[in-house]
Structure 1
Amino acid sequence: MTEAEETVKAAPDVAALEQEGEIAADYVEGLLDIADLDGDIDMDVEGDRAMVSVVGLKGGDLVGPSGEVLEALQELTRLAVHRQTGERSRLMLDVAGYRERRRAELTKIGTAAAEDVKATGEPKALQPMTPFERKVVHDAVATVGLRSESEGEEPRRFVVILPV
């Protein structure tokens, strides 16, 4: 396979991702109607995944403690997309900007922990996290120039930051 063919093959199918977003938005809008909640739906494609956000929603009922309700809603939404497309979805659901705020917080945590590991030369294990949270921390650690691994079993899976 030529390099050009590999690039084309690796490029995300934007039309399929937009379709995922449309299906997910319809599903989430239906849930909001059932729950009698007012909120607007924003859709986007970022990289290789569809992004659906509920904005203008007051209160954290759809986020829950530590994002647990949001995680469950995301899984239900992914299942709804899968049911219609027959394809596994990597869709990301956000409510009231929770994921963006959490991403910023986790980036700081990952960067600080990586700096500690650089200074001490000792590996450091973090608290258990969701797959989304671990990905953010892995990215932050890589930016500092260190390596990290996920260990343990869900739902207690955690990141370990390793020295050089």
Structure 2
Amino acid sequence: MTDTETQAEAPAPTTAEAAPASKNDDLEERLVAEGEIAGDYLEELLDLLDFDGDIDLDVEGDRAVVSIDGGNDLSKLVGRKGEVLDALQELTRLAVHQKTGERSRLMLDIARWRRQRRDELAALGKKVAERVLASGEREELSPMTPFERKIVHDAVAAVDGVHSESEGVEPSRRVVVLLD
């Protein structure tokens, strides 16, 4: 191998090493763009509905997160069990899809409802896992959305000696916690 060949090959690993960072940068840019499109859409919607609220954009992992906080009576945009929030999230994802041509996994939170729900479900998952561990009896939870089930599954997975499964068909799909 000549010095010329060695020099020609030397930059290749550097380029390969830079590729993952570039891919992550591209993903981050795409998610930020999704968040901005969603923020604009939601700002127009809030104006139409005459609601006040501060819109915050963030990226968590592989999804854009848009939060609306600070307004009076935002609970009306959440609904009793988050149904209105889920519908607004889906509409926002459709608005992003319409502008980008790509499916969005964007998450919308209003008045920190999802954050609080996440904390409640994580605590529930841990509590039920510990109960099943102590009693040896399987336990079924109430039907949940896929988002809610994922949080419970993650909480149960953190407790040794038990595991969880999803059973049933939407909209009655539920988490079941069992001994290993």
Report the TM-score, using the length of structure 1 for normalisation.
Answer: 0.90
* Structure number with bigger Rg: 2
- Cα distance, 1:161 vs. partner? 1.3
- Cα distance, 1:116 vs. partner? 1.1
- The question of 1:57 aligning with 2:89 is answered no
Q: What is aligned with 1:99?
A: 114
SS of equivalent to 2:98: helix
1:93-123 CA-to-partner distances (Å, cap 9, x unmatched) read 0001111111111111111011111112222
The whole-number CA distance in structure 2 between the counterparts of 1:63 and 1:10 is: 35
- Cα distance, 1:133 vs. partner? 1.0
SS of equivalent to 2:52: coil
1:34-67 CA-to-partner distances (Å, cap 9, x unmatched) read 1011111000000111000001022210000011
What amino acid sits opposite 2:178 in the alignment? L
Where structure 1 has 5 or more consecutive residues not aligned to the other structure, the ranges are none
The whole-number CA distance in structure 2 between the counterparts of 1:117 and 1:9 is: 46
- The question of 1:44 aligning with 2:66 is answered no
Q: What is aligned with 1:151?
A: 167
Where structure 2 has 5 or more consecutive residues not aligned to the other structure, the ranges are 1-16
SS of equivalent to 1:65: coil
Report the TM-score, using the length of structure 2 for normalisation.
Answer: 0.83
2:47 to 33, 39, 57: 33
RMSD between aligned residues? 2.1
The whole-number CA distance in structure 1 between the counterparts of 2:152 and 2:172 is: 15
Shift in CA distance, 86/142, structure 1 to aligned 2, threshold 3 Å: same
Aligned pairs, how many? 161
- Cα distance, 1:10 vs. partner? 8.6
